[in-house]
């Protein structure tokens, strides 16, 4: 589905409308789905993990947030917000690793070759990204636990509408 995803990603209106739709979902998700009451990671069974992972697949659509999709999946699977958010970030590690390996493999298969410097930059970028994410996750989970998704929903709606308006006004918004 790589070519389809790239084609959708290059369409700014697809991204704008998925941002907008995702924002509406985030604004109302707390009232639509009641998560579990204080459940922790030991309550994540294999069937629950699979169900949450299926929500992650929705994020292949450009403009859909992987973390929001998996957190919502966790809430649908009856996890509380905090546990769903924590599991979402744990789920990101193998997903991002697999995506990186796939892109490196695809790049190497193209015949261009991968230099040691490029591999070093990729490794450094991943390590720095992991460290920064570890610090950001704690703050994000605290915010999400206290306030829910409402502000993230408003943000996505604002950005989606802004992109649509700019597109209507003829502003070139090249994404890829």
Convert the pLDDT of each residue in 82-93 to its tens digit: 888 888 888 887
Write down the residue that tokens 């193998």 correspond to. Answer: 94
3-state DSSP assignment of residue 70? helix
Contact between 81 and 144 under an 8 Å Cβ cutoff? The reply is yes
Of the candidates 151, 172, 149, 161, the residue with the CA atom closest to the CA atom of residue 16: 161
Beta strands in the chain (DSSP E): none
**CA distance linking residue 171 with residue 165, whole number of Å:** 9
Burial of residue 83 (CB within 10 Å: 0-12, 13-18, 19+) is buried
pLDDT value of position 64: 87
pTM recorded for the entire structure? 0.74
pLDDT bucket at 157, cuts 50 / 70 / 90: very high
Of the candidates 77, 75, 91, the residue with the CA atom closest to the CA atom of residue 25: 75
Greater model confidence, 100 or 170: 170
Of the candidates 31, 41, 23, the residue with the CA atom closest to the CA atom of residue 141: 41
């Amino acid at each position: 589905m790589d070519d389809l995803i790239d084609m959708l990603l290059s369409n700014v209106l697809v991204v704008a409308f998925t941002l907008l739709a995702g924002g509406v979902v985030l604004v109302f998700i707390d009232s639509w789905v009641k998560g579990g009451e204080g459940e922790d990671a030991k309550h994540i069974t294999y069937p629950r993990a699979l169900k949450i992972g299926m929500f992650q697949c929705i994020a292949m659509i450009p403009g859909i947030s992987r973390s929001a999709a998996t957190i919502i999946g966790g809430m649908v699977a009856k996890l509380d917000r905090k546990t769903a958010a924590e599991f979402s970030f744990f789920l990101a590690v193998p997903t991002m690793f697999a995506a990186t390996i796939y892109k490196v493999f695809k790049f190497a298969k193209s015949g261009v070759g991968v230099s040691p410097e490029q591999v070093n930059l990729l490794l450094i970028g991943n390590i720095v990204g992991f460290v920064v994410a570890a610090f950001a996750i704690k703050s994000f989970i605290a915010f999400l636990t206290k306030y829910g998704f409402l502000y993230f929903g408003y943000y996505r709606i604002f950005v989606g509408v802004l992109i649509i308006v700019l597109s209507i006004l003829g502003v070139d918004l090249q994404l890829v």
